[in-house]
Structure 1
Amino acid sequence: MFVTFEGGDGSGKTTQASRLEEWLTGRGRGVVRTREPGGTEVGVLIRDIVLHHRGDVSPRAEALLYAADRAHHVQTVVHPALERGDVVIQDRYLDSSVAYQGAGRVLGPREVRDLSLWATEGLLPDLTVLLDLDPASARARLDADDKPFDRLEAEQDDFHARVRREFLALADAEPGRFLVLDATASPDEIAAAVRARVAALLDARTS
């Protein structure tokens, strides 16, 4: 099973991915926990460019770099794990590119989605958990962390508003794949909802 966590920065993706990993391993499941960008050695280099490079990176170059990372990551990490029968839990996947580069950078959601589907040979998650959080609340959480912003976190509010709208539009278009949760709910409530959906999917596969 391939499970991805999506949402704006500060929405709690890492926390919930960790909790799902702990729950699955406690049930005896093999789990591979990973992220994009940066889930491979090549990805770490790309992550440094797209998120921390001090100079400008053109929007199209940025989209291509994410797609390159995704192609390598799927081939070397995700596909092998799925073939072994593991559950892959991933922080961000192609929906982030559609939202951030397609809508945020105004490159066109369809074009960016097509690029990622080509890079990954059409691989889509079995479940995508979207942690929905308004940009003002997300900014407050990031400010509270007292860490330097990366290139995307530092974008203006209108950029993040476009990203959020696109995430919700993607969820509306594929309700069978997405689980949309209010990121302002308690971590326990969110984790329980995620577990319930994952358990149902796993049970359906074994029945």
Structure 2
Amino acid sequence: MSTGQGLFLSFEGIDGSGKSTQARRLAEALRAQGLEVVLTREPGGSPGAEEIRALVLNGDPDRWSAETEILLFTAARRDHLERTIRPALARGAVVICDRFADSTRVYQGISRGDLRATVDSLHALMIGREPDITLLIDMDPEEGLSRALGRAGTDTRFEGFGSDLQKAMRKGFLDLAAAHERFRVIDGKGDIDTVFTRLSAALPEFFKAPA
């Protein structure tokens, strides 16, 4: 925030980890402090990106190859960056994004094929921006899948790959967290309030510990 720009936070985690709920809770808490907060998501977050979201998150699990998914997600991310994220940061807002490039690194780059170099090359060429802070909500893969399959909604294509993908995703996220200082890993076990207490403790920029 010292640069005069906003702050960019992303939430990551396996399906069913509760990251979307925690992202909403954080947005509410920061707005209560008087901050401008833009809560957004990927894929999506802009009109064009939302159209691509409908293509990639619905339908048969084998609808797209991993390579095609990388191109679709990168196109959606570029539109999102241009139309939502950059303008918000330029006016000093806090941007909270439910998933960003790390999801593509894990889902398509690691868990669905050895395509991490492709993901990183496209990201460097077309996106060139990482979050300032990434909050990883860590969750047991079986519990996460059970939650994901039990929730209402139509975005179920990736849940259809089953528990093996969930396990690979969790390992991929934890490996990224170990390699990059911007990550803060939050234990996702417990009720919403318990997890949010852990999340708040991991963000001393916004939440002071009790005296």
TM-score (norm 2): 0.88
Which amino acid in the other structure matches residue 118 of structure 2? E
Higher helix proportion (structure 1 or 2): 1
Find out whether 1:188 has 2:188 as its counterpart. no
The answer to which of 155-164 and 107-116 deviates more is: 107-116
Q: What are the within-5 Å matches in structure 2 for residues 192-207 of structure 1?
A: 192-200=197-205
Q: Which runs of 4+ in 1 moved over 4 A?
A: 146-149
Paired with 2:152 and 2:97, the residues of 1 have a C-alpha distance of: 25
Give the number of aligned pairs.
201
Name 2:4's counterpart in structure 1: none
Paired with 2:85 and 2:152, the residues of 1 have a C-alpha distance of: 33
**Which residues of structure 1 form unaligned runs of 5+?**
none
* Aligned equivalent of 1:86, options 88, 93, 100: 93
Which amino acid in the other structure matches residue 160 of structure 2? A
Name 2:145's counterpart in structure 1: 139
Query: SS in structure 1 opposite 2:34?
Result: coil
Which amino acid in the other structure matches residue 161 of structure 2? E
Find out whether 1:150 has 2:150 as its counterpart. no
Which amino acid in the other structure matches residue 33 of structure 1? L
TM-score (norm 1): 0.89
**Which residues of structure 2 form unaligned runs of 5+?**
1-6
Find out whether 1:60 has 2:67 as its counterpart. yes
Name 2:37's counterpart in structure 1: 31
Name 1:127's counterpart in structure 2: 133
Per-residue CA deviation, residues 35-60 of structure 1 (Å, 9 max, x unaligned), is 01111111111011111144721211
Which amino acid in the other structure matches residue 195 of structure 1? S
Query: SS in structure 2 opposite 1:154?
Result: helix
Shift of 1:109: 2.0
Query: SS in structure 2 opposite 1:44?
Result: helix
Paired residues of 2:9 and 2:97 also in contact (CA < 8 A): yes
Paired with 1:147 and 1:24, the residues of 2 have a C-alpha distance of: 27
Shift of 1:181: 1.1
